[in-house]
Amino acid sequence: MIPRVTFLESVPNRRPWQWPWGYVESAVLIGAAVVGGFIAQWRLGPMPGDLLAWPRNLIALGALMALSLLARPLRASKFFRFLTSVPFSVILICAMALFALVMGLVPQLAPKANLGSVLGPGQDSPVARLGFLQVTSSWPFAVLYLMTLVGLGATVAIGFGFRRRVFLLNHLGLWLILLAAGLGASDRQRELMRVPEGGVEWRASREGEFAELDLAIRLDDFVMEEYPARLALVNPATGKPWPSESAPALFQIEPKSPRGRLGGFDIEVLQFLARAVPVGEEGFAGAVVNGAVQAALVKATDRETGQSFEGWLTAGNGFVGPSSLRLGEGGADRPHGLVLAMTQPEPKLFLSKVKVFTKDGHEAQANVSVNHPLRAGDWLIYQRDYDTSAGPLSRWSGFELIKDRWLWLAYAGFALWSMGCLGLTMGGRK
């Protein structure tokens, strides 16, 4: 049977600000705190990057833990009952979502970027002054973050116990992650380093300047593999992809299946060479040497006229010029005809063979590639970039070095939270 809805109110005819506080009171209080944050933002500018630098973040952590622990014996008090109530959490979640919506709609600047130098004369626009361009380092966001940490911490402390383990794992896990991410932000160090092949580098580059680090990287070799390139049709009158730049017609070269269609043409890849050098007038031959290019001998047949065209294609590199194939004089829909060309191949793997030396005497020899960072002391070394114009011939490799002493706390949080999520997924409620 479908019962009629009853609207339960724990206190009938409750007046505003009469206990227990609900959604309106939560919204007013959180709104007031956020307005305070905006005033601070307007007057003080963005939060200083080192606001929570060591050991201030440790003190903050201690204070947050103490406040949370206090919540347990004082759980019957009005303050903590309100702080851990559903209305307060819901309004907090909604406020966070609103700030994230701003971030999702207004392109954000890097959190530590200097507004004046990035924006130039327009930096005094109200949008910028209220922190909407760098939300995560703005005061109102920090105020919300702090309230979330306090509320979540108290909620965890009060609800602690085995019987409510799914609740506990979810809330405690999230709390630890938020603690690690927020309090650790000032301590997190990120450096960029570019090391020449065969050379050693110990200085990080910071916007044109160099800073000495406590570790050095020697680049023994930079290795790169590429996928087979794609074939594209180009309008010779404009030099742009056909039929349009946003949706170009492309044919993936695939040695396993050499035949296919592209635009109005039947394509057959007669020969594909992953590493080749030009030979004679218009030919290519396989050769594993520096400066080799991908090349393919391709036959294209116009499906309307039956006319065939055949020739060697390559996208070229610094040593070998590009080579394309003219496909007839064209018809009414494409008066200039079309040209068949090869695109620049995409990277399959790029990897640096390095040796790392730290000041305290540690040495490590390893390969660093995307998804496989190297740990050296407190540092994690990431493969970042290379000379894309040279591709496999790049003479240098770019690394990103990251130090995050609070990472273990975040990982502990992720571990707990994921168990909580499993609990949510498994345990249905009647």
Could you report how far apart the first and last alpha carbons of the chain are, in Å?
17
Determine which residue in the list 108, 189, 271, 344 makes contact with other proteins, applying CB under 8 A: 108
Contact segment (CB under 8 A) with other proteins among 31-39, 120-128, 194-202, 417-425 equals 417-425
- 24 touches other proteins (CB under 8 A): no
Q: What torsion do the CA atoms of 318, 323, 324, 325 make, to the nearest 10 degrees?
A: 180
Determine which residue in the list 214, 254, 266, 385 makes contact with other proteins, applying CB under 8 A: 254
Contact segment (CB under 8 A) with other proteins among 125-133, 246-254, 331-339, 357-365 equals 246-254
Taking the complex as a whole, how short is the minimal distance between the CB of residue 361 and other proteins, in angstroms?
26
DSSP character at residue 323? B
Q: Do 75 and 83 form a contact (C-beta atoms < 8 A)? A: no
**How many angstroms separate the CA atoms of 52 and 405, rounded?**
14
At which residue do the structure tokens 């600047």 appear? Answer: 109
**How many angstroms separate the CA atoms of 355 and 208, rounded?**
25
- 348 touches other proteins (CB under 8 A): yes
Residues 88-107 that bind other proteins (CB under 8 A): 89-90, 93-94, 96-97, 100-101, 103-107
**How many angstroms separate the CA atoms of 222 and 239, rounded?**
33
- Going residue by residue from 167 to 186, which x/- string records binding to other proteins, judged by CB under 8 A? --------------x-----
- 163 touches other proteins (CB under 8 A): no
- 350 touches other proteins (CB under 8 A): yes
Contact segment (CB under 8 A) with other proteins among 244-252, 269-277, 284-292, 304-312 equals 244-252
Give the C-alpha distances (Å, rounded to integers) separating 101 from 4, 107, 112, 143, 196. Answer: 37, 11, 21, 17, 42
Determine which residue in the list 26, 68, 136, 294 makes contact with other proteins, applying CB under 8 A: 136
**How many angstroms separate the CA atoms of 83 and 77, rounded?**
10
Contact segment (CB under 8 A) with other proteins among 43-51, 156-164, 222-230, 334-342 equals 222-230
Backbone angles phi, psi at 379, to 5 degrees: -90, 145
Q: Which is nearer to other proteins, 87 or 291 (CB)?
A: 87
